[in-house]
C-alpha cells in the first residue's frame, strides 16, 4: 500500500538495490561459505578448533545471506500475488526470518570473538593450547554460543518493539568489537616486541614493513566488520527511537543498501579468515582438480 499523502519533492525515497545485484551478491556469499564448510568436513586435517570456529563464522554468514535471499523471494511472491500481505502465516514467516537474521548477526559477533580468543590462547598459552582448547571443548563452546544466539534472536524478534531488547542488542555490538580489538592489540604488541628482538640481531634485516602489514591486517578485520554491520545496527536504533524524524527517515531510506552491505560481509569474511590458511587453500585446489 502506497499511501497517497501529499509528498514533498524533497522526500527521501527508498533507495532500491536492483534485484539482480541482490541475488548475485547473496548467491556468491552462500556459495563461498558452503565451500568452506564442505572443505573442512572433507579434510581430516582440518578438524581442529580453529577451523571449527571459522566454520561457525561461515555458517552465520550463510544465514545472513540466506535470510536476505528468502526475504526477496517472498517479496517477489507477494508482488506477484501468490502470498497475501496481511495473512497470519506471512507474519509468522516474517517473524521466523527476522530471528534468522538476528541469529546471523549474533553468530557472527560471537564467532569472531571465538576466533580472536582462540588465536590469543594460541599465542600466549602456546604449549598448553592443546590442553586448554581440546576439540571437545571447542564444540561445547560453539554449542553454547549458538544456543544463546538462537534464544536471544527469538526473544529479540518477538519483542523487537521493546526498548529493553533494542538497547542491549545495540550495546552488545560495540562492546564485543572493543573486546576483540583489545585481544588483537595485545597480540599485536607481542608481535611488535618480537619484531624488535629480531631487528636487534646483527644478521637480520627486518623491515618495518611487517608491522605495517600487521596494522593493515588488523584494520581490515575490524574495519570490514564495522562497515558492514554498523549501518544496520544504527538503523535499528533509529527505527526504534525516532522513526518520524525526517533525518532519521532519510537514513532509514537506505535500508536496502545496508542489507547489501551485510551480504558483502559474507563474501569478504572468508577471504580474510578462511582463505589465508594454506591447508584450506590446498583442500580447495584438490576439490576442484578432482572434479574435473
Partner 1 sequence: MSALRLISNRTSQQALSNSDYTWDYEYYEYGPVSFEGLKAHKYSIVIGFWVGLAVFVIFMFFVLTLLTKTGAPPHQDNTETSEKRFRMNSFVADFGRPLESERVFSHQMTEESQSLFHFCINEVDYTNKAKVSQKGPSLESNTHFQEVPRSSGVFEEDLHCLTKFNIPNFVNTEQNSSLGEDELLISEPPIILESKLVMQSSHRILD
Q: Is residue 207 near partner 1 by the rule CB under 8 A?
A: yes
How many other CB atoms are found less than 10 A from the CB of residue 173?
21
Q: Is residue 240 near partner 1 by the rule CB under 8 A?
A: yes
Q: Is residue 23 near partner 1 by the rule CB under 8 A?
A: no
Interactions with partner 1, residue window 126-145 (CB under 8 A):
126-130
Nearest CA to 74 among 93, 98, 95?
93
Q: Which of 154, 155, 172, 195 binds partner 1 (CB under 8 A)?
A: 195
Smallest gap from residue 3 Cβ to partner 1 (A) = 5
CA angle 30, 36, 38 (to 5 degrees): 100
Q: Is residue 174 near partner 1 by the rule CB under 8 A?
A: no
Interactions with partner 1, residue window 103-122 (CB under 8 A):
118-120, 122
The DSSP code for 71 is H
Q: Which of these segments, 28-36, 89-97, 105-113, 137-145, binds partner 1 (CB under 8 A)?
A: 89-97
Q: Is residue 28 near partner 1 by the rule CB under 8 A?
A: no
Q: Which of these segments, 25-33, 140-148, 247-255, 260-268, binds partner 1 (CB under 8 A)?
A: 247-255
Q: Is residue 193 near partner 1 by the rule CB under 8 A?
A: yes
Contacts of 158 (CB under 8 A, 6+ apart): 95, 99
Half-sphere exposure of 10 (CA within 13 A, CB side): 2
Q: Are 63 and 100 in contact (CB under 8 A)?
A: yes
Q: Is residue 284 near partner 1 by the rule CB under 8 A?
A: no
**Backbone phi, psi, residue 245, to 5°:** -75, 135
Smallest gap from residue 274 Cβ to partner 1 (A) = 10
In angstroms, the CA 75 to CA 79 distance is: 6
# residues contacting partner 1 (CB under 8 A): 112
With residue 30 as reference, give the H or E element that holds it: helix 19-42
Q: Which of 10, 89, 136, 164 binds partner 1 (CB under 8 A)?
A: 10
**Backbone phi, psi, residue 290, to 5°:** -70, -30
Q: In this complex, which beta carbon is closest to partner 1, that of residue 34 or of residue 272?
A: 272
Q: Is residue 245 near partner 1 by the rule CB under 8 A?
A: yes
Amino acid at each position: 500500500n502506497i499511501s497517497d499523502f501529499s509528498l514533498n519533492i524533497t522526500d527521501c525515497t527508498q533507495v532500491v538495490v536492483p534485484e539482480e545485484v541482490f541475488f548475485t551478491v547473496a548467491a556468491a556469499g552462500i556459495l563461498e561459505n558452503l565451500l568452506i564448510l564442505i572443505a573442512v568436513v572433507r579434510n581430516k586435517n582440518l578438524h581442529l578448533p580453529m577451523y571449527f570456529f571459522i566454520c561457525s563464522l561461515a555458517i552465520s554468514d550463510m544465514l545472513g545471506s540466506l535470510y536476505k535471499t528468502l526475504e526477496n523471494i517472498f517479496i517477489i511472491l507477494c508482488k506477484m500475488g501468490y502470498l497475501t500481505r496481511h495473512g497470519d502465516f506471512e507474519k509468522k514467516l516474517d517473524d521466523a526470518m527476522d530471528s534468522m537474521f538476528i541469529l546471523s548477526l549474533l553468530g557472527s559477533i560471537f564467532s569472531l570473538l571465538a576466533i580472536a580468543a582462540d588465536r590469543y590462547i594460541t599465542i600466549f598459552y602456546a604449549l598448553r593450547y592443546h590442553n586448554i582448547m581440546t576439540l571437545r571443548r571447542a564444540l561445547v563452546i560453539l554449542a553454547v554460543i549458538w544456543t544463546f544466539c538462537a534464544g536471544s534472536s527469538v526473544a529479540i524478534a518477538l519483542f523487537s518493539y521493546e526498548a529493553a531488547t533494542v538497547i542491549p542488542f545495540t550495546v552488545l555490538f560495540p562492546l564485543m568489537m572493543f573486546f576483540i580489538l583489545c585481544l588483537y592489540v595485545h597480540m599485536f604488541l607481542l608481535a611488535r616486541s618480537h619484531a624488535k628482538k629480531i631487528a636487534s640481531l646483527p644478521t637480520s634485516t627486518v623491515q618495518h614493513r611487517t608491522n605495517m602489514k600487521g596494522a593493515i591486517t588488523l584494520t581490515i578485520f575490524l574495519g570490514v566488520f564495522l562497515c558492514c554491520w554498523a549501518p544496520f545496527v544504527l538503523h535499528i536504533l533509529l527505527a526504534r527511537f525516532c522513526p518520524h524524524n525526517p533525518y532519521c527517515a532519510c537514513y532509514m531510506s537506505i535500508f536496502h543498501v545496508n542489507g547489501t552491505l551485510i551480504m558483502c560481509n559474507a563474501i569478504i569474511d572468508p577471504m580474510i579468515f578462511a582463505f589465508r590458511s594454506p591447508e584450506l587453500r590446498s583442500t580447495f585446489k584438490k576439490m576442484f582438480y578432482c572434479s574435473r
